[in-house]
A and B are shown apart, each in its own frame.
Chain A
Amino acid sequence: MTMLAPDSDGPALDPMHQFVIQPVLELPTIFGIDLTITNAALFMIVTTLVILAGLTLMMGRGAMVPSRSQSIAELLYGFIADMVRSIMGEEGMKFFPFVFALFTFILIANLLGMFPGTYTVTSQIVVTFALAMSSFTLVLITGFAKNGLGFLKLFAPAGLPPLMYILIIPIEIISFLSRPFSLAIRLFANMMAGHVLLKLFGGFVLLLSSLGTLGIAAAIMPLAVATAVSALELMVAFLQAYVFAVLTCIYLNDALHPAH
């Protein structure tokens, strides 16, 4: 967006610059797979390590009476377990590890992206679409493995006048097939929109404060907005991880009980 800063040297004020993927560590190509570590890959690795190290350290030796850090880990476990149980029932607890991994990965990736200078992995549609497809594939596999062709009853809800099925079945199929796209676009667009907004207001602060004393005084306003948006983004980071997990649970519940 050159219109923001026509005569400055560009990239620093470009709100889209933060999403550029750059190689961090050049590695050779083996069997046609480029092993180069980019900043996106690096932050996915960091996210995984933070989750693993964090949970391992917090759990400690797994005392019967939890320490303070252990109760945080147990709170996280209980939160997701309650959600899975309330949506899918006891039967759905076999999907708990998947939902927990999904939730923690998205949450930690979102939160790590809130640190200045870091890279937000979930602002890449490739990453979110891969996550959405993994949950969509699991729904398909579970549905057909558990119900066989009875899974197709999902597309034809019982108790409608026969004529209505001509209309309902295509609608249900389209809504089913659009699930992974809506999951992926929701998460990616939320994270991207938030970070573009933060960068824009940060850019306003820089531009105004370069105008002299009056500019610096006026720069307080965009600074205040940027601070408020940061707080909103922290909430969105949690909310989007939660929504992704809840919707995955609902879709898995559809796969377990297709005749709704």
Chain B
Amino acid sequence: MELEAAKQIGAGIAAIALGGAGIGIGTIFGNYLAGALRNPSAAAGQFTNLLIGFALTEFTGLLGFVVAMIILFG
């Protein structure tokens, strides 16, 4: 296989990481919403934790993005 073709395939495979991040972010926001509807008065206090969890989860997906970019352009 040519190197260029292998690079394109590799970058595509690296993008699979975004699927995991999607599942994770959906879980976080879904569970936050479920918890917030059960106990709305406690929801506001957990908003910071929600964003932190979101940021930490999103990071794993972004690592996949960075790997794809390094493969393509690095």
Contacts and interface: CB of A to CB of B under 8 A. Distances in A.
Do A and B share a complex? yes
Contacts of B66: 185, 189
Contact of B62 (A16, A83, A193, A246): A193
Contacts of A16: 73
Given A185-B63, A186-B59, A189-B62, A243 B52 contact: yes
A22 interface: no
A192 B51 CA distance: 20
Interface residues of B, number: 14
Contacts of B34: none
A71 B51 CA distance: 26
Contacts of A87: 48
B16 interface: no
Chain B contact residues: over half helix, strand or loop, or mixed? Answer: helix
Contact of B55 (A83, A86, A186): A186
Interface string B22-40: 0000000000000000000
A182 interface: yes
B51 A185 contact: no
Contacts of A242: 51
A162 B62 CA distance: 36
3 shortest interchain CB distances as A-B pairs: A189-B62, A243-B55, A186-B59
Interface of B: 48, 51-52, 54-56, 58-59, 62-63, 65-66, 69, 73
